[in-house]
Amino acid sequence: MYCSVHNNFSQNLFSQQRLISYFIIFICSLFAPANSHAEWQTEDAAIMGTTIHVEVWHMDADIRQQGIDAVLQEMERVNRLMSPYIENSQLSKINQFAHEGPVEVDKDLFNLLEKSIQVSELTNGAFDITYASVGSLYNYRKKLKPTEQDFSTAKEFIDYKNVLLDKDQFSVSYAKQGVKIDLGGIAKGFAVDQSIMHLEKLDIKHALVSAGGDTRIIGDRLGRPWLVGIRDPQNIKEVIAMLPLQNEALSTSGDYERFFVEGDVKYHHIIHPSTGRSAKEVRSVSIVTSDSTTADALSTSVFVLGAKKGLALLNSLDGVEGVIVDQAGNLFYSTGLEQPNNN
């Protein structure tokens, strides 16, 4: 799907950018016809611990404003429901009480938990929301990590099979005390998809919504694709590749997002569920597919899987493409994005 629409254009852009090194998201609003500027409206906000960026095109200023308001309200709603940092969010309630018995939750949260577990199964456990049993013991901003003893105890609780879902009751329980979950690897993508749904209800045909590294686009940028750049993980001020996108979602996961370095160890926010340590093999992963929830979950998953297994997974999935940068700065493309021979 992705390549048949964009392959030539994307290959040219990839090859032009080839010598620049690599990765996250940088929105380029190039190529918009000048006479259409009046109908674009843009807004930025800080929600869900990240920057929300919305661009909406519509002839009617009221509709544009309604669209932007709907997006920001939706982001706030998802944050209130799913933030581990809000004590009375439903996610926090699960972490507090689910070991005692079933905790009933909203349908949206339940469905996202179900989707998370499906992705765990698809990725052979690379994606695992119970990573938080260990992950919640880190504070990257304050450079805090658990003692080895606390780490070893917590690591035993990482296993998505410890999360038990009851679809009849929309309830969640934990198999044991000590399990913790966090939806940081999928919730922003979900919030972006929800936002796009609100914009579509308003009959908005051209828009872009991003939440940190998760972006989704409705339509094109009035006759041209949107150009979304992928940053260089070695130097995040540089863009290594530009992807032309329309009606698609792009998610980037990078080890430069939240981390601290102690000695020669880099502690960052993407945890390998089988070791409990930060995943080491690659530095960034970008996924393009039709929806942000899937793109978000798969960018985190492929980061954990590494280049070889990650590419094998991407190439086995229809309508999903990706670019991976490993520790040595090598680029790996899924088959739909493969680079042309530069000769």
Please report, as ranges, the residues that interact with Mg ion according to CB under 5 A: 185, 253, 296, 299-300
> If DSSP codes are grouped into helix, strand and coil, which group holds residue 203?
coil
Given 172, 174, 180, 185, the residue binding ligand AMP (CB under 6 A)? 185
Compose the 222-261 pattern: x for residues touching ligand AMP by CB under 6 A, - for all others: -------------------------------x--------
Q: Which range binds ligand AMP by CB under 6 A, 51-59, 86-94, 294-302, 315-323?
A: 294-302
HSE-CB for 299 with a 13 A CA cutoff: 33
For residues 175, 176, 177 and 179, what is the CA-based torsion angle, rounded to 10 degrees?
Answer: -60
Q: Is 182 in the site for ligand AMP (CB under 6 A)?
A: yes
Alpha-carbon distance of 294 to 15, in angstroms, equals 27
Is residue 184 near ligand AMP by the rule CB under 6 A?
Answer: yes
Residue of this chain nearest to Mg ion (CB atom):
300
- Measured from the CB of residue 39, what is the shortest distance to ligand AMP in angstroms? 32
To ligand AMP, the closest distance from the beta carbon of 174 in angstroms equals 16
Residues in contact with ligand AMP, shown as a per-residue x/- string from 262 to 281 under the rule CB under 6 A: -------xxx-x--------
With CB under 6 A, what is the number of residues at the site for ligand AMP? 18
What whole-number distance in Å separates Cα of residue 231 and Cα of residue 20? 10
Neighbouring residues of 12: CB distance < 8 A, sequence distance ≥ 6: none
Distance between CA 191 and CA 8 in Å, rounded?
A: 31
Residues near ligand AMP, by CB under 6 A: 127-129, 131, 135, 182, 184-185, 213, 253, 269-271, 273, 296, 299-300, 304
